[in-house]
């Protein structure tokens, strides 16, 4: 019987392809390959090939990414040569399985010489093109991948599609998405084709994965950029202050949560002539000329505050303080320069096993503090420093706002102890605690006469107490009287029988005042509203 790859593709049934895949891979389970392609290449180099996308990625496949050889069997004129020819496919397509049979390659050369043969480069180029076409076909055949600006009527259209292909591309992406991302890093020639295969979540997609094409199709008329942000997870990103203005204007923002995405987005700077903008970087462009003019006016009005703030934080890794265009409800946020590391990139680099942490700290980009001129905290701070630039409360607030912004923006504090000390100072001030008050020393000895063992009361219960018969506990004064005796006990307790709610603790002393103020402090303040946008 003729080998399957030598037959006309139109004459081979799906069942035959599946059977051939199982015999080729020695995988006789119930899973079918996600896709296959069968083609004959003609021209200067002639060969026949069948390629398969396995249903599952083997666990070690990505871990050994740089040492993996393509899982293709090479035949020359129907004679098996090797299944370890490294140059048949690039590393990012090493998950594919199949065979290649060439009539052009020489038989009488060593494997080393064969890998240097010019014909092999031509075969590799054609295999890449066919492989990417096969993956794109999985995407195109999946009804979940339909590109539509209007969701109305979409359900009915999907129902007419075959259910077998529904969700196939999501399966592929789950298994092999990292390989496609590596392709963008390694294969600049096919970068645009690979970008179409990328999937991600966004601020409008919910848990569904979408493509760049789907994103572009529903961009707002006044939107010039594709906005994205990187981080640990979507729950964290959707609450980020970096996105406040974008989400308020209902611009869709892409969420990239894979550590690999940081590297991918350094290579992928535009899509279909639309520039990509990182929402965590400086110079975020939102709105048109009117917005720019307003920002310039505000920057001039707040110039004294931003300069003062920069001087206050002179010891920090801070490049500048400026008026923000991205904030709506938050007073401050920290970003980095366009070419610098984002907060997420810093986290990724610090997590590397063999990276010298001291070198990472030197490579961190300078931060940029952005302030919200419409926020009441910023407005009050501006008024304070206009009266007295040396105001200690204002200086402490400026430092605390910067550190809070670092945390909210995803950065790690260099010295959390200093931040904690500032928080404690604010708590002391709100509780009217003396800033210089010291922690009391622990007593060396405890006066046993001061201890009252209330458990002794259990021993005084009558033996004849019957089950279900409840005897009320004695009043605290009676118990103290019984234990200590008479008037001394009442004085020790500080409780007046005629006025049981009165005690020495709840009197008019300092402790009572602190207690009252603490209760008042615990009541929620009315929310400070941000002024309407200018």
> Residue positions in the annotated binding site for ATP?
111
* Widest distance between CA atoms in the chain: 115
Q: How far apart are CA 144 and CA 408, in angstroms?
A: 35
Under a CB-based contact definition with an 8 Å cutoff, are residues 217 and 147 in contact? yes
Cβ neighbours for 185, distance < 8 A, ≥ 6 positions apart: 263, 264, 267
Whether the Cβ atoms of residue 135 and residue 197 lie closer than 8 Å to each other: yes
Tell me if 97 sits within 8 A of 54, measured CB to CB. Answer: yes
Helix (H) or strand (E) holding 366: none
Measure the CA–CA gap between 91 and 113, rounded to whole angstroms: 21
How many residues can be counted in the chain?
Answer: 534
Contact 371, 305 (CB under 8 A): yes
Angle (CA) 99 103 108, round 5°: 100
Rounded Cα distance between 313 and 186, Å, is: 41
Burial per residue of 421-453, b for 16 or more beta-carbon CB atoms within 10 angstroms, e otherwise: ebeeeeeeeeeeeeeeeeeeeeeeeeeeeeeee
**Which residue, chain included where needed, has tokens 């980020």?**
240
With beta carbons less than 8 A apart as the criterion, state whether 324 and 246 touch. Answer: no
Q: b or e along 223-233 (b: 16 or more beta carbons within 10 Å of the residue's beta carbon)?
A: bebbbbbbbee
**Binding residue ranges:** 111
> DSSP letters along 180-226, please?
HHHHHHH-STTHHHHHTT--BEETTTTTS-B-HHHHHHT--TT--EE
Give yes or no for a contact between 49 and 6, defined as CB atoms under 8 angstroms apart: no
Q: Please tell me the distance from the alpha carbon of residue 445 to that of residue 529, in angstroms, as a whole number.
A: 53
In eight-state DSSP terms, residue 391 is -
**DSSP reduced 3-state for 528:** coil
């Amino acid at each position: 019987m003729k080998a399957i790859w030598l037959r006309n593709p139109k004459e081979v049934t799906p069942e035959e392809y599946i059977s051939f895949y199982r015999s080729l891979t020695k995988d006789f389970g119930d899973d079918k390959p996600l896709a296959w392609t069968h083609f004959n290449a003609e021209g200067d180099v002639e060969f026949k090939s069948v390629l398969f996308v396995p249903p599952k990625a083997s666990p070690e496949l990505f871990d050994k990414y740089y040492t993996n050889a393509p899982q293709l069997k090479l035949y020359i004129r129907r004679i098996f040569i090797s299944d370890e020819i490294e140059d048949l496919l690039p590393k990012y397509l090493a998950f594919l399985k199949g065979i290649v049979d060439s009539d052009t390659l020489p038989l009488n050369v060593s494997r080393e010489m064969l890998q240097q043969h010019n014909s092999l480069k031509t075969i590799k180029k054609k295999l890449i093109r066919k492989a990417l076409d096969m993956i794109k076909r999985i995407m195109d055949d999946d009804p979940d991948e339909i590109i539509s600006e209007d969701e109305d009527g979409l359900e009915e259209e999907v129902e007419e599609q075959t259910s077998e292909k529904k969700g196939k591309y999501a399966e592929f992406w789950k298994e092999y998405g990292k390989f496609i991302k590596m392709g963008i890093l390694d294969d600049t020639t096919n970068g645009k084709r690979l970008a179409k295969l990328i999937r991600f979540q966004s601020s409008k997609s919910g848990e569904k994965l979408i493509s760049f094409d789907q994103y572009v199709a529903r961009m707002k008329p006044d939107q010039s950029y594709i906005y994205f942000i990187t981080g640990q997870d979507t729950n964290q990103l959707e609450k980020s202050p970096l996105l406040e203005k974008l989400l308020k204007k209902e611009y869709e923002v892409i969420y990239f949560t894979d550590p690999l995405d940081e590297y991918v987005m350094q290579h992928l700077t535009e899509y279909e002539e639309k520039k990509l903008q990182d929402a965590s970087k400086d110079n975020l462009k939102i709105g048109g000329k009117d917005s720019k003019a307003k920002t310039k006016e505000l920057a001039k009005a707040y110039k004294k505050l931003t300069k003062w703030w920069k001087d206050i934080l002179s010891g920090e890794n801070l490049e500048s303080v400026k008026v923000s265009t991205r904030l709506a409800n938050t007073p401050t946020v920290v970003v980095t320069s366009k070419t610098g590391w984002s907060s997420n990139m810093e986290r990724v680099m610090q997590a590397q096993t063999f990276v010298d942490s001291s070198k990472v700290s030197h490579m961190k980009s300078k931060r940029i503090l952005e302030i919200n001129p419409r926020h009441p905290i910023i407005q009050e701070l501006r008024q304070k420093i206009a009266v007295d630039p040396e105001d200690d409360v204002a200086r402490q607030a400026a430092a605390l706002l910067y550190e809070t912004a670092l945390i909210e923006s995803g950065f790690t504090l260099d010295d959390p102890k200093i931040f904690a000390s500032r928080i404690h100072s604010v708590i002391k001030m709100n509780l009217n605690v003396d800033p210089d008050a010291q922690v009391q020393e622990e007593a060396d000895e405890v006066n046993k006469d001061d201890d009252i063992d209330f458990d002794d009361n259990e021993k005084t219960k009558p033996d004849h107490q019957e089950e279900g018969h409840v005897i009320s506990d004695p009043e605290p004064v009676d118990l103290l009287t019984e234990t200590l005796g008479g008037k001394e006990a009442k004085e020790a307790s500080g409780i007046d029988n005629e006025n049981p709610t009165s005690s020495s603790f709840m009197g008019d002393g300092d402790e009572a005042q602190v207690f009252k103020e603490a209760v008042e402090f615990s009541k929620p303040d009315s929310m400070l509203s941000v002024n309407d946008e200018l």
